[in-house]
Amino acid sequence: MSRKNRISHPLRVVATAGAIAAALTLASCSGTAAKGESDDGKLQVVATTTQLQDFASEVGGDDIDLTGLLVPGGSAHHFDPTPADLLALGKADVLIVNGAGLESFIDSAVEASGFTGEIVTASDGIDLAEAKAITAEGGGAAHDHEHEHAEDEHADHDHADHDHAAEEEHAGHAEEGDDHDHDHGDVNPHIWTSPHNAEGMVDAVSDGLEKADPDHAADYRKRADAYIEKLGELDTWVHAQFERVPEADRVLVSGHDSLTYFLHDYGIRFAGSVLPSFEDNAEPSAADIDALVAKIKAEGVKAVFVESSMNPKLAQTIAKEAGIEVVDAESLYADSLGKPGTDAETYIGATVSNTRVIIEAWGVEPEALPAGLD
């Protein structure tokens, strides 16, 4: 397993100058504890996304003090750290990031905060070359790490007609003069949506915490192994649910291109997204919308699903034009986990919720969870 303790590629800088200046002013006047020091002496950990916060909590347990940067419902695609975020980062021993081009704010946040600890990149735990290939496919080809039969079932499905593949989506927006920068490279950064990828990410998180805090290394590894076993059970359950859906009905339209790896793992065809981009703040053209409506009608898509971090209005309009249901009250959790107290507040809970919402919209009742997951 690769253990990279610094981000190996430059990330784009978007943190606001005002937030940086305010943080530096507060830091110079603050009487709070210095880096690595807390009232309880625990390892100080900051994690970016809500998914990484959950992974870090599962692995770190009571041996860490954890601060999350993004909040439920937030999106890393358009996030600026607050002065309080930067102060917490400046005192941290470990910063856990997704990587894969997701957190465009990290370089500036690290510089502004004075962070000098260890950076743990969760994407080091997965095969980014494979992720690049899956991104190019556009989803829908089942993985073979446990479920080879699913790949066989979908082997003769033609993905060539999917005009919402990642490269074409971004090229189209560049030609239309979109003001947003949607270039994450060749890899869709939503790697956590696959429970199989999540296993590797948790492994990388554990590696990083073990290195930063050798005294508790055995505890981190024990908790990580137990959680990875649960993720394996989750993967098995989700796969079994989608196997109960007729293959012709396994066609999905999402709010933005956020579920590539989830769709790939479970043999779900991707008909397109409301926002034809990896990001959830892109601007579709009229031509994009017309093309998606035509694709929905041609492929017999049953519903348009909206992610929890997105405004549902455009999806509602598209669904109405296509004459199908829009699922927005029970949103999918892709960029973010759910709020505390909801069924989707954890990674496992959010993935179970997504699976149930999708197959119920496709007319199939989900089976009960295994005892270890409920």
Q: Are residues 245 and 99 in the same domain?
A: no
Give SS3 for 67: strand
**CB 234, CB 307: distance < 8 Å:** no
| Helices 286-299/313-322 angle, 10° precision | 50
Q: Are residues 237 and 98 in the same domain?
A: no
Q: Helix, strand, coil proportions of the chain in percent (round to 5)? A: 45, 10, 40
Q: Are residues 307 and 335 in the same domain?
A: yes
Q: Is residue 374 part of a domain?
A: no
**To which H or E segment does residue 362 belong?**
none
Q: What is the pLDDT of residue 90?
A: 98
**CB 272, CB 295: distance < 8 Å:** yes
Q: Is residue 369 part of a domain?
A: no
Q: Are residues 241 and 113 in the same domain?
A: no
Residue 91: band (very low, low, confident or very high) from pLDDT cuts 50, 70, 90: very high
Q: Could you tell me the two tokens for 275? A: 């926002």
- First-to-last C-alpha distance (Å) of the chain: 31
Question: Rounded to an integer, what distance in angstroms lies between the CA atom of residue 260 and that of residue 358?
Answer: 15
Arithmetic mean of pLDDT, 3-20? 39
Residue 192 neighbours by CB distance under 10 Å = 30
Q: Could you tell me the two tokens for 234? A: 């989750």
The phi, psi pair for 28, rounded to 5°, reads: -70, -25
Q: What pLDDT digit, counting tens, does each position of 171-230 carry?
A: 333 333 333 333 345 899 999 999 999 999 999 999 999 999 999 999 999 999 999 999
Which domain covers residue 87, as residue numbers?
Answer: 17-126+199-216
Q: Is residue 133 part of a domain?
A: no
Q: Are residues 103 and 159 in the same domain?
A: no
Arithmetic mean of pLDDT, 37-58? 90
Q: What pLDDT digit, counting tens, does each position of 250-263 carry?
A: 999 988 889 999 99
Q: Are residues 276 and 321 in the same domain?
A: yes
Q: Are residues 115 and 177 in the same domain?
A: no
Q: What is the pLDDT of residue 153?
A: 37
Q: Are residues 159 and 88 in the same domain?
A: no
pTM over 0.85: no
Q: Is residue 3 part of a domain?
A: no
Q: What CATH number did the domain enclosing 274 receive?
A: 3.40.50.1980
Q: Are residues 39 and 85 in the same domain?
A: yes
Q: Are residues 179 and 289 in the same domain?
A: yes
Q: Is residue 301 part of a domain?
A: yes
Q: Are residues 44 and 97 in the same domain?
A: yes
Q: Are residues 206 and 157 in the same domain?
A: no
